[in-house]
Structure 1
């Protein structure tokens, strides 16, 4: 089942689907994404980040055959009720993070939600209830599609699957969760504020830990639904929750 058999014929000539392949993908996507996000924190332009997410999205379809895509979880869910649960769990965990961050750091730059909210480019003028709702829905729609599908297809899908044969499902989830969590240091932890870079050690440590836990939750939702879509929906719920807290409790 593993090794070369789930790769498309072209890739079988020089690639083997194993943990080394997974590590290659972690570096191939993680390093450019890290640099691009850091640059976007300065410029405020996240167009290239969206392209990275789209590349993650199509990676399983470029590298894996039909059997390979099924192996990593791109298939019909076995438990549709858990799709709803997954979405609600994503919202709940994000809400827990928001409340915890507020209790620990208030409205300071040490609060990940405050820092991330500053990266959003909003139209000039006063935010009314109507345009705030429109912006919330627009940002939510984007946040619930690009990164959840792209990141889950890559991390809980292709990368996770590459570690399974050698390490098993649970340990493989630790590897993909670590990769996911560390790459999110570019979003918060290493910050650009008042014209200079800074590293917030304790907030960064808590942020990476929370991203690791979120990854483990996404993986559990994948298991409970029997499909990668459980992870995608949970991730989408998390991002929806983040948009809600930012647009209705920060802006």
Structure 2
């Protein structure tokens, strides 16, 4: 089997198939689920950000350029679209922040 989708180092140990994807998915999702449960008890949500960051960089660690293209990760040459997407993301993040602040202020007053 030709594993051009995986980087050469990882191709020695893994195959680019459903089993590999499910193992990664279960590992990341299980850790994230357990951290969310723990964060609900302790109020410390910091480690969840680290897991989200790791899950975002996993394709760049394991996959070659061909593999990233096969799963739909490709670069864009349209700077205007990227800029609009960035600004929209910032605006919605700020809106969610304001909603969160507002909900805590109302909660503190009652």
TM-score by length of 2: 0.70
Correspondences of 1:223-242 after superposition (within 5 Å)? 233=89, 238-242=92-96
Render the CA deviation track for 1:47-87: whole Å, top value 9, x for unaligned: 22122123223312220123333444242x24344331575
Distance 2:34 2:68 in 1: 29
> In 2 relative to 1, CA 7–49 (structure 1 residues): closer, same or farther, beyond 3 Å?
same
Aligned to 2:100: 246
Aligned to 2:59: 60
TM-score by length of 1: 0.35
Aligned to 2:73: 73
Aligned to 1:103: none
Distance 2:94 2:67 in 1: 30
RMSD: 2.6
Q: Which blocks of at least 5 consecutive residues in structure 2 are unaligned?
A: 106-110
Aligned to 1:38: 37
Distance 2:19 2:92 in 1: 30
Aligned to 2:22: 23
Distance 2:63 2:39 in 1: 31
> In 2 relative to 1, CA 62–85 (structure 1 residues): closer, same or farther, beyond 3 Å?
closer
Render the CA deviation track for 1:106-143: whole Å, top value 9, x for unaligned: xxxxxxxxxxxxxxxxxxxxxxxxxxxxxxxxxxxxxx
Q: Which blocks of at least 5 consecutive residues in structure 1 are unaligned?
A: 89-232
Correspondences of 1:1-251 after superposition (within 5 Å)? 4-71=3-70, 72-75=72-75, 77-83=76-82, 84=84, 87-88=87-88, 233=89, 238-247=92-101, 249-250=102-103, 251=105
